[in-house]
Structure 1
Amino acid sequence: MSSFVVVANRLPVDSVTRPDGSHEWVPSPGGLVTALSPVLKEHEGCWVGWPGTTDDTHPLEPFRTEDVILLHPVSLSATDYEEFYEGFSNATLWPLYHDLIVPPIYERTWWHTYREVNLRFAEHAAKVADHGATVWVQDYQLQLVPGILRQLRPDVKIGFFLHIPFPSADLFRQLPWREEVVRGLLGADVIGFHLPSYANNFLSLARQVSGASGSHTGQPDTLTVHGTARMRERNAIVEAPDGRRVHVAAFPISIDIGSMSQPDAQAVADIRRRLGNPRHLFLGVDRLDYTKGILQRLEAVEQLLESGSLDPAETVLVQIATPSRERIAQYRKERRRVEEAVGRINGRFGQLGHPVVHYVHRTVPKSELSACYAAADVMLVTAFKDGMNLVAKEYAAMHPDGSGALVLSEFAGAAEELPESFLCNPHDLESVKRAIYNAVYTLEHQPEEAQRRMRALHTQVHEHDVQLWARSFLSFLKEPA
């Protein structure tokens, strides 16, 4: 039994096949794992999640990682994976939460599987949680877990954090199962979002769905499942028959600064040399996802090359596009469109042995990625919608000297914390082009202003890391303000 339990869709490990055919579990990279590992060790906690395999005929027993974190695997069948993860989580909720960039699919069979899998996760958490334990549930795949767990284990304290945006109430109300999802979330004691605007969207939705009324100002706010809203100072309080309150607040997530070592100067120089020592080195690092605006940034660079604002002989764009959800039709379509654009740009502006766009469709080792961050003159983050976007923060962390510039979508959550970026509207190609041009112009003609901007970004990222995020949430869960 554990006094601190993390519940997430995936366990923080990956299965790796050795040369002799045997398997071993290795820690998977990620700031969430790094931030929560000290808490898990301190409280002898455990992590409940799916191990990444769909063989539910031989369920895995609990096991420990190399740093002795106890893992409790939750088995999923191939059908579970298709309908719970690829279906409801990523073809229904993902586009809905990202402002309908593509149309969500509302399939009742997927919903039933989503509900059954959430029940399975909640039951696992209920079995391993000690009396009065703290259970922290993560992200959109498990939004029903807090409500189910509240029924199974009313003694535990439950937190929930959403790692993606939360849409406006008008959009969310399209979901046929909106009441069930809201009730599931309201099983938590604290619901966390990246931004106050996301929290406010949820507060508005919860009042509409639950029939409560009233207005609110400030963060955090409190809600309960039933009742009538009334104002009390800065908090909106909905009183339930059992008197339980659900607190809603914003906790912007960040990166693990300690795990990001500064690459040596030779590694950075080697990157630029291999790319032909361009005058302007642009970088994009994304999952190949239709929300990331990869195609739009490629088209913006193409038009700048076409107009002569950028010289193809002096310009290189490195686009790292990590494979993602490739069995989903919209993701396959996005990959095809991106790769067609890469080929077109290189066909129009590249030379033999010197393409303008260097496209990498695979996972890049962390050391090489850090060198790319440090080598790039301009980072391009042009997401149509993003809960936060940690790539922007990773780039800022790699430029302590104030070099470089960040072009950042105003619809990425990071834009609220990094206003010194060159902000753009990714839906407006002229806005993206203007931000790229201004970033290049400032670097070349206003170096002091460029350094001021980047040093401000670097300071923000260093002072607000992922450990601060975890401590803030858990402290609030323990003693709400």
Structure 2
Amino acid sequence: MSKIIFVSNRLPVTVKKQETGLIYNESIGGLATGLKSYHQQGGSLWAGWPGIASDALVEEDRQTIGKELRKKYQCLPVFLSEREIDQYYHGFCNETIWPLFHYFTGHTQYSQETWEAYKRVNEKFFEALIPVIGDQDTIWIHDYQLMLLPQMIREKYPEARIGFFLHIPFPSFEIFRLLIWREEILQGLLGANLIGFHTYDYVRHFVSSVRRILGIEHNLYKLNCETHTVRVDAFPMGIDYDYFNKHRTEQVSAELEAFIESTQEIRNIVSIDRLDYTKGIPDRIRAFKRFLEDYPEYHERVRLNLIVAPSRVEVETYDRLKREIETLVSEVNGRFGTVNWMPVWFFFRTFSQEDLIAFYRHSDVLLVTPLRDGMNLVAKEYIAARHDFKGMLVMSETAGAASELGEAVIVNANDHGAIARGIKAALDMPEAEIMERNRRMHHRISRYHVRFWADEFIHALSSAEQDAKPSKPLLQLTGDSPLEEAYQSAEHRLLFLDYDGTLVGFKATPDQAKPDEELKRLLTELSKDTANKVVIITGRDRHIIEKWLGDLNVYIIASHGLWFRKPGDSWVKTINVDDAWKEPIRHILEMYTDRMPGSLIEEKDYSLAWHYRQCEPDTIAQKRDELREALISITQSMSLGVLEGNKVLEVKDARVNKGHGVHLLTRNDKYDFILGVGDDHTDEDLFAALPEEAYSIKIGSGNTHAAYRLKSPKEMRVLLRKMVEYSNYRHFV
């Protein structure tokens, strides 16, 4: 029976060890609430750290916690040591990822030690999941602490249904590119079938980074990876609307009762955050100071209730932030306060949910001005709690929720004057307008609540997993696959092997893709087997491929079938073509090369190739299409074709293709095993020309006529090693 496995850094249950024994406290946070209905399904699990360092536990404690969490709470604990918590969570997560993703590059620290800890903890989560993952399970991974986990699961469970949701912003490419381990993070995330973000801004930033760093293009926010398709989409997280809207606040603390009584004759502004430099708290205080300076008529008529929940005060940056806030509060109160009025009340403490709802309902304005925030659910809680449709939200445009709550007063968090004007606009707004704006926001957040958010993501993950089903089966190299058995039993084999993207990975420029020592050794060993005829069939120029592989006992078909060379022999042209057409085509290519930094022209005997792998991805699409149309227009009355490969446009004689090369070697001789392997559009001619009984393999994703797929040139190397082993074993026997 299939189940859902949720994975997050923290479990929805926190374990504490006291003298009286182990204590278990359930979370009432938004994530736990949203996933509750799924988590309560039979057999479902939630994996994460239980909130207590493993150093503080003996083996008996760990076993007891594991059994209790599994039996009573359907949770799977991942135990972390104090050192792991310090290096992985306080280190890499909060000193590298958190500040960088929130655009605080000056706070970002780069440490190889904490990066290694991050990898180890992600591996630890993966190892904890292995015993519980079933073939049909859905795995939903949450947040920036586990960005390597999707790919780890994908590699062991290639057919798994994996979702990932990032609860913080994803930065623009210019910021993300600063991360030393950017490729590893992106590859880790791309193990998922579905990647979710709070806003479409974050979606665009992510696909832009993937395109620029990994060279993977998206089509309607779908990314074709080696083994699967990844869908990227926005899922703005909601709140438990009914809880905040219908919760009764008659039973509040004595402190809140005194607050309510003391503010009957004053307008209240409330600000609620945890202590963090991303929240813009000092700027908020300065903006309130500006408000008091610019609008003296509000003196003794308004009060800012600044609620800051303690967080990481042992860290110098956060302790310094707390001292700065205290200083600014003292300055404002010292300058503007009177015997009867203190303009800023600073609460450095946590409040119960009931007390916070009371704050919401007795405040005229909620001031939410983070410098950067993934979503900010406090804004939605305030709107929901105001069941009277009163109270106005003043919100920073850099909070994720701003894209949903457009009826709020939206401000620039760095512009103190704009925030001051926003506060005044909210306080002066006619009640009828406030209620109309709030009704629209209520309607939106009551429909898109946290359970709707979870339902939508799970449904989208199911759809994305269906989209990800490959059109061709992945070749499983098990030792007894039909291809391997046919190879071992064959007496006369013909092997057509493409070069770029098949035997070697793509490089920045064509001349960097020279064969490595292992590849030359494998091809040498394969060609030693007298049963084998090894053919390198490539679009490469004959001179460069001869320079690289001409000393091997292999046949070479170059320039997409135009040139043919037997081992140790001279080149033979397979079809009569000329190059009189080159000059006007070269002129067009040079014009676009001048306009597109990073592009280059490769000239071959009877073709011209325009490479754009190094070009700026955001600008290349339009220019590439424009150039392709220009080339098609000028060549349509000629015997030329425009061939589109992997980051290359090539103009050549349309009569020449790799299928023509196949016919050269199959029309006379008979073979009992034929293999053709390639990676792009040019190899489809090869696949189409192969005899029906031949084996064909497409490297990578995309539509193909090939019968099988392999993920990458790396997996092709595995197949080559296998074939060499079989050949050597046969020779030995």
Give yes or no for TM over 0.5: yes
* Deviation, structure 1 residue 430: 1.1
Note closer, same or farther for the CA distance 1:63–1:332 as it changes in structure 2 (3 Å cut).
farther
1:117-149 alpha-carbon deviations (Å, 9 max, x no partner): 011011112222222211110000100000111
Range moving further from structure 2, 371-380 or 333-342: 333-342
What corresponds to 1:173 in structure 2? 177
Q: Alignment identity in percent?
A: 37
**Aligned residues of 1:275 and 1:316 also touching (Cα < 8 A):** no
**Aligned residues of 1:3 and 1:131 also touching (Cα < 8 A):** no
The one of 273, 291, 299 aligned to 1:312: 299
Counterpart Cα distance in 2 of 1:430 and 1:337: 20
* Deviation, structure 1 residue 27: 0.6
The one of 216, 225, 242 aligned to 1:258: 242
* Aligned partner letter, 1:161: F
Q: Does 1:13 align with 2:17?
A: no
What corresponds to 1:368 in structure 2? 355
What corresponds to 1:103 in structure 2? 107
* Deviation, structure 1 residue 250: 0.7
**Aligned residues of 2:16 and 2:51 also touching (Cα < 8 A):** no
* Deviation, structure 1 residue 115: 0.4
3-state SS of paired residue (1:48): strand
Counterpart Cα distance in 2 of 1:317 and 1:176: 42
1:231-263 alpha-carbon deviations (Å, 9 max, x no partner): xxxxxxxxx3x4x11111111101012332433
The one of 378, 388, 391 aligned to 1:391: 378
Unmatched tracts of structure 1, length 5 or more? 226-239
* Deviation, structure 1 residue 67: 9.8
What corresponds to 2:549 in structure 1? none
* Aligned partner letter, 1:252: P
* Deviation, structure 1 residue 361: 1.5
**Aligned residues of 1:401 and 1:455 also touching (Cα < 8 A):** no
What corresponds to 1:230 in structure 2? none
Note closer, same or farther for the CA distance 1:21–1:359 as it changes in structure 2 (3 Å cut).
farther
RMSD: 2.3
Q: Does 1:87 align with 2:91?
A: yes
Counterpart Cα distance in 2 of 1:441 and 1:426: 20
1:105-184 paired onto structure 2 within 5 Å: 105-184=109-188
Counterpart Cα distance in 2 of 1:67 and 1:400: 39
What corresponds to 2:78 in structure 1? 74
What corresponds to 1:236 in structure 2? none
**Aligned residues of 2:260 and 2:362 also touching (Cα < 8 A):** no
* Aligned partner letter, 2:25: V
* Deviation, structure 1 residue 308: 3.6
* Deviation, structure 1 residue 50: 0.7
Bigger radius of gyration among the two: 2
Counterpart Cα distance in 2 of 1:144 and 1:85: 14
1:26-81 alpha-carbon deviations (Å, 9 max, x no partner): 11121110111211112421111111122346362324569943111111112111
The one of 452, 464, 486 aligned to 1:468: 452
* Deviation, structure 1 residue 264: 4.1
Counterpart Cα distance in 2 of 1:305 and 1:67: 57
* Aligned partner letter, 2:309: T
Counterpart Cα distance in 2 of 1:63 and 1:469: 31
* Deviation, structure 1 residue 307: 3.3
* Aligned partner letter, 1:263: R
Note closer, same or farther for the CA distance 1:246–1:305 as it changes in structure 2 (3 Å cut).
same
Counterpart Cα distance in 2 of 1:406 and 1:191: 30
* Deviation, structure 1 residue 273: 3.6
What corresponds to 1:189 in structure 2? 193
Counterpart Cα distance in 2 of 1:314 and 1:353: 11
1:302-451 paired onto structure 2 within 5 Å: 302-309=289-296, 311-352=298-339, 354-442=341-429, 446-451=430-435
Counterpart Cα distance in 2 of 1:94 and 1:310: 41
1:305-356 alpha-carbon deviations (Å, 9 max, x no partner): 2334453322211111111222333222211111111222222233457532
Counterpart Cα distance in 2 of 1:123 and 1:16: 24
Counterpart Cα distance in 1 of 2:77 and 2:455: 26
Counterpart Cα distance in 2 of 1:316 and 1:325: 28
What corresponds to 2:36 in structure 1? 37
3-state SS of paired residue (2:233): strand
Q: Does 1:290 align with 2:277?
A: yes
Counterpart Cα distance in 2 of 1:402 and 1:11: 35
**Aligned residues of 1:316 and 1:356 also touching (Cα < 8 A):** yes
Note closer, same or farther for the CA distance 1:433–1:66 as it changes in structure 2 (3 Å cut).
farther
Unmatched tracts of structure 2, length 5 or more? 468-733
* Aligned partner letter, 1:456: R
Counterpart Cα distance in 2 of 1:309 and 1:69: 55
Note closer, same or farther for the CA distance 1:23–1:41 as it changes in structure 2 (3 Å cut).
same
Counterpart Cα distance in 2 of 1:474 and 1:323: 34
**Aligned residues of 2:5 and 2:46 also touching (Cα < 8 A):** yes
Counterpart Cα distance in 2 of 1:392 and 1:67: 36
Counterpart Cα distance in 1 of 2:80 and 2:252: 42
* Aligned partner letter, 1:158: I
Counterpart Cα distance in 2 of 1:12 and 1:2: 22
* Aligned partner letter, 1:208: R
Range moving further from structure 2, 127-136 or 466-475: 127-136
Counterpart Cα distance in 2 of 1:340 and 1:469: 41
**Aligned residues of 1:278 and 1:316 also touching (Cα < 8 A):** no
* Deviation, structure 1 residue 410: 0.5
Counterpart Cα distance in 2 of 1:353 and 1:71: 53
TM-score (ref. length: structure 1): 0.90
Range moving further from structure 2, 418-427 or 394-403: 394-403
Note closer, same or farther for the CA distance 1:318–1:48 as it changes in structure 2 (3 Å cut).
same
What corresponds to 2:439 in structure 1? 455
* Aligned partner letter, 2:28: P
The higher-RCO structure (CA 8 Å, 6+ apart) is 1
Note closer, same or farther for the CA distance 1:282–1:105 as it changes in structure 2 (3 Å cut).
same
Counterpart Cα distance in 2 of 1:5 and 1:265: 39
1:198-247 alpha-carbon deviations (Å, 9 max, x no partner): 1111111111222234x655xxx21133xxxxxxxxxxxxxx3x4x1111
Note closer, same or farther for the CA distance 1:70–1:267 as it changes in structure 2 (3 Å cut).
closer
3-state SS of paired residue (2:350): coil
**Aligned residues of 2:290 and 2:417 also touching (Cα < 8 A):** no
Counterpart Cα distance in 2 of 1:448 and 1:13: 44
What corresponds to 1:202 in structure 2? 206
Counterpart Cα distance in 2 of 1:138 and 1:320: 28
Counterpart Cα distance in 2 of 1:150 and 1:222: 17
* Deviation, structure 1 residue 267: 5.8
* Deviation, structure 1 residue 276: 3.6
Counterpart Cα distance in 2 of 1:353 and 1:65: 53
3-state SS of paired residue (1:42): coil
Note closer, same or farther for the CA distance 1:299–1:153 as it changes in structure 2 (3 Å cut).
same
* Aligned partner letter, 2:397: E
Counterpart Cα distance in 2 of 1:380 and 1:310: 20
Corresponding residue pairs, total = 457
* Aligned partner letter, 2:290: Q
What corresponds to 2:554 in structure 1? none
